[in-house]
Amino acid sequence: MSQMIEFLTRVGADSSLRFGSGESLCAAMDAMGLDGEMRSCVSAGDAEGVRAQIVQQSAYFVALMPPFSAALMPAFSVALMAPISASLVAPFRAAPSDVS
Amino acid sequence: MSASAIATRGRLVCVGVGMTLGSHITPIAQSEIDHADVVFAGVSDAIVELWLREMHPDVRSLQPYYAAGKSRHDTYGEMVEAILVEVRAGKRVCGVFYGHPGIFALAPHQSIELARAEGYEARMEPGVSSEDCLYADLGIDPGTFGCQHFEATQFIVYKRVVDPSAWLFLWQVGLVGDLTLGKLGTGPAYRQVLVDVLMRHYPGDHEVIVYKVPTLPIERPSIRRVRLDQLVDTVVSTSETVAIPPAKALVLDPTVRERLDALRHADVA
Ligand SMILES: C[S@@+](CC[C@H](N)C(=O)[O-])C[C@H]1O[C@@H](n2cnc3c(N)ncnc32)[C@H](O)[C@@H]1O
C-alpha cells in the first residue's frame, strides 16, 4: 500500500507521468511491478477503482463550512434572519458556547 | 517566561495540501507537517489521508466528527476543540486541510482565532484551492468580467445582489438547501429551488458548468456543461463546483465615464 502511495506521489509531481504519452506511466508501473487490476485502473484513470483496492471507506465528507450561523438552527425562520444578517461581516463565528 | 516554558508552548498552523495528491503541496506546508508534533487531517480523499500518514507518525483524521444526521455545526465545533486541546497541551499542531485551508472552511479560521485569543501563536499557510484549479482548467480569468462566489445554500436563503454580467461560482451545490446540515447530499427537489432562484437572473437555456478537479493524479478534471434548467436533473456531488458564465454584457456607467473624461481633459494627475 505504501508503495502505491509513493507511486501516486511520483505521478502527481512528475508532468511526464501525469500528462505524458502514457509510455512513461507504463514504464513507471513496470518499474514498480504494478500489475493486475491496479494497473488497469491506473491506466484507465479510474480513481474509484484505485480507491476500492486501497481503502475501505471510499466516500469522504468534504463540506467544511455551514451556510449560516448556528443561531439559525435547528428551526430556520425569517424572524431569525435579521440578527444574522446584521453579523454578515463575520457570519460564521460561533459563540464560545457553540464550541464545546 | 522561562526558556523551557517557551519551548513547550503550543502553537498552531493550518496549511493546505492543494487538491491533487503530489501536485500541489507547497514547500512551507510540507515543512509544517514535517515539524509538527500532531497533525489533524481534514482532507477530501481517503488516499490523500494515507499519503499524509506516510509523512507523519501522528495523523488524526477529522472524518470521524462527521455523521449522517448530525449537524455540521456540531462537527466543526468538535474539530476546533480537538485541535485546541493539543495546542493547549503545549504541542506544535498542524491542521492540514485539502485545497486552501481558508477558503469555504470554518474550522481552520475558527481554531486559529481561538488559539490566538487564548494567547497561542497561530497562523495559516495558503494552498491551491479548487477555485485556482477551476480557473486553470476552464480557462477563466476572474478579472475579465469579475466574479461572485457564494455558498449555494446561503445564496438561496438570503436575498443576494446577483450581477449577471460577472461569473457566478456556487460552492457546496451538492448540499444545496439542507437546513439541517445533517444530510449527505440533496436531490432534484432542492436543486429545483436553486434553479428557480437562478432563473430570476439567467435564462433557462443558459449554459452552466459543473466542475471537479481530480484528487488523485491519475484522473482528469470533470467538466460537464448543462443548460441551467437541466441542472435540476443533473446529480451534483459534494465535491463539485458550479460555474455560471456571464449572461449579460457589461454596462458602462455614463456618469462615471463623464467624470473620468473631465479629469483626463483637465490633465489631472
Ligand atoms: C467546504 S468547501 C472547501 C473548499 C476547499 N477549501 C478549497 O480550497 O477548494 C467544499 C466545496 O469546495 C468545492 N470543491 C471541493 N472539492 C472539489 C473538487 N475536487 N473539484 C471542484 N470543486 C471542489 C465544492 O464546491 C465543494 O462543495
Map grid coordinates 473631465 to a residue.
B262
Averaged pLDDT, A30-52: 93
Domain boundaries, chain A: 2-54, 65-94
Q: Considering only residues 46 to 85 of chain B, which have any Cβ-Cβ distance to chain A shorter than 8 Å?
A: 46-47, 49-51, 54, 63, 66, 71-73, 76-78, 80-81
Is the confidence at residue A9, as pLDDT, over 60? yes
Question: Which of A37, A64, A81 has the highest number of chain B CBs within 10 A, making it the mutation to test binding with B?
Answer: A64
Would you name the residues of B annotated as active-site residues?
72, 76, 98
Averaged pLDDT, B152-165: 96
Mean pLDDT of chain B: 96
How confident is the model at residue A89, as a pLDDT?
32
Report how far ligand 1's centroid is from the alpha carbon of B130 (Å).
Answer: 5
Is the confidence at residue A96, as pLDDT, over 70? no
pLDDT band for position A85 (50/70/90)? very low
Q: B75-84, pLDDT tens digit by residue?
A: 999 999 999 9
Instruction: Specify the length of chain B in residues.
Output: 269
Nearest protein CA to atom 20 of ligand 1, as residue: B212
Angle in degrees, 0-180, between the axes of helices B27-35 and B46-55, rounded to the nearest 10 = 60
Q: Is B130 in the pocket of ligand 1 (CB under 6 A)?
A: yes
Q: Is A64 in the pocket of ligand 1 (CB under 6 A)?
A: yes
How confident is the model at residue B124, as a pLDDT?
98
How confident is the model at residue B2, as a pLDDT?
52
Taking the alpha carbons at both ends of chain B, their separation in whole angstroms is 54
Short-list B147, B266, B117, CA closest to A99: B117
- Number of A–B residue contacts, CB under 8 Å: 137
Q: Is B241 in the pocket of ligand 1 (CB under 6 A)?
A: yes
Short-list B184, B182, B191, CA closest to B242: B191
Averaged pLDDT, B101-114: 97
pLDDT band for position A91 (50/70/90)? very low
Reading the block at residue A73, the C-alpha cell is: 438552527
Residue A66: list chain B partners with CB under 8 A. Answer: 72-73, 76, 106, 181
Tell me the C-alpha to C-alpha distance, in Å, between residue A5 and each of A21, B21, B144.
22, 9, 39
Map grid coordinates 481530480 to a residue.
B214
Domains of chain B plus CATH, in order, are 3-128 (3.40.1010.10), 132-244 (3.30.950.10)
Alpha helices of chain A — where are they, by DSSP H? 2-13, 15-18, 23-32, 36-44, 47-54, 81-86
Model confidence, pTM: 0.90
A13-27, A57-71, B26-40, B106-120: the lowest-pLDDT one = A57-71
